[in-house]
Amino acid sequence: MVNIKTLVELFDNCQLENIIASLKFKPDRIVYVGFEKVMTLNKMNAVSNFFKGKLENCQIEFEVVKKNDIDLIVEKLEQIYNKYENCMFDMTGGKETLLTALGIFMADKKVPVFQFDVEEEKFINIKNCENLCLSDDFKITIPKALELNGCSLLTSEEGDYKWHFSDEFIKDIEKMWDISSDDPGAWNAQSNGFERIEKLRKPQKGLSVYLNLNNIKKKVYINMDVITPLVDNGLITDFIHNDKILSFNYKNEQVKQTLTKAGNILELYGYILIDEIKKENQEDFDDVDLSVYIDWDGIIHPEYSKVKDTKNEVDIMVINKLIPVFISCKNGEVKKEALYELDTVASRFGGKYAKKILFATYISHDFTSYDYIINRATDMNIKVIQNMHKKSKAKIKSEIIKILY
């Protein structure tokens, strides 16, 4: 098997195309050739930083060429070829002019040229690339994927709760999902009710709730169709509600966090389904995370700074076979803004190969709104898994797997 000494890359807007071959071949040197407007300082720094810890001893060089001068690009490729022995050329990325120049350069030479089909994760031997040594160690973590695209992962956002998925909590999630599935609207209303209860009670921390209802002007929302199964399943205990008091205990802090925010149950259930798929297909999954907060420019500004951070939250994020997957969870009526946000975030932080999935219970009770959302999602290439509350776990997992693969 042949190890690559020098890999020549045609720099592309898509950062995944700029790094996939190097992850596969682990060369001693990478030489990027690209246009100034594409191979920006930020992108060059992102690529260099990405390989730190992955290709420790690899030398990385960047060669800027003029966009419309094919002769000079061919000349630059000649210089690189003559300077370094055993060069190989990757044509996975690069604009048309670069690819044309590479075609002219390689026409009368026995140079090794190859390409990767990123979506199929397939190596294509264009010319003279037999017996190459490919690495199987090429996983990308979510922080690294975000860093590569010029942003960063925020790890200490206010309200960002850190979940711990013990076997017991997973069972509790499934119980709460079953309860919410009977009527997502009623579940959301009661979750909003729990949220208001948390604001009314003092102290707000802790698992024990006691409210003197005589001191509260607006009626506290209690739906016994939701409360009763919560009590029956031990998710809340010692429940008392009459004209004078409301008193109960949450089972634990994680159950409390789930109950007091309407959207949490779908996010948590979606996450444990993804995690099950990951465990069943371990070699394909690089990383999975819940409630991923992203800073747009990768620069975290202090609170007192005049420059405010632009940030977004991704409900569930997956890296599957190097490709980022962005999942938005809506446990209620879906608005068009949710589609635009998902599309914008995935395009900005995931590149052209990013996949977009919408987990939803119901889209809309209005037929016109329903058709609009579905059509817009199709236009944006957002895959919609709807009516999740009416589907079995196996059915939902099969739909997720179909999208991922």
Please report, rounded to a whole number, the percentage of residues in the chain having pLDDT higher than 90. Answer: 77
What angle separates helix 264-280 from helix 184-200, to the nearest 10 degrees? 120
Whether residue 297 has pLDDT greater than 80: no
36-40, 130-134, 253-257, 283-287: range with lowest mean pLDDT = 130-134
- Summarised one tens digit per residue, pLDDT across range 143-173 is 999 999 988 888 655 557 899 999 999 999 9
Tally of CA atoms within 13 A in the half-sphere of 337 that contains its CB: 1
- Summarised one tens digit per residue, pLDDT across range 60-103 is 999 999 988 999 999 999 999 999 988 999 999 998 999 999 99
State which amino acid sits at residue 169. F
Name 201's Cβ contacts closer than 8 Å, sequence gap at least 6.
209, 210, 211
State the Cα angle at 332 between 183 and 252, rounded to 5°: 70
Specify the pairing of strand 245-250 against strand 208-212. Answer: antiparallel
Specify the pairing of strand 113-117 against strand 122-127. Answer: antiparallel
Residue 301's pLDDT band, with cuts at 50, 70 and 90, is very low
Supply the mean pLDDT for the chain.
92
**Token reading at 304:** 């007192």
Which pLDDT score is estimated for 307? Answer: 47
Which pLDDT score is estimated for 240? Answer: 98
- Summarised one tens digit per residue, pLDDT across range 318-356 is 999 999 999 999 999 999 999 999 999 999 888 899 999
Specify the pairing of strand 6-10 against strand 87-90. Answer: parallel
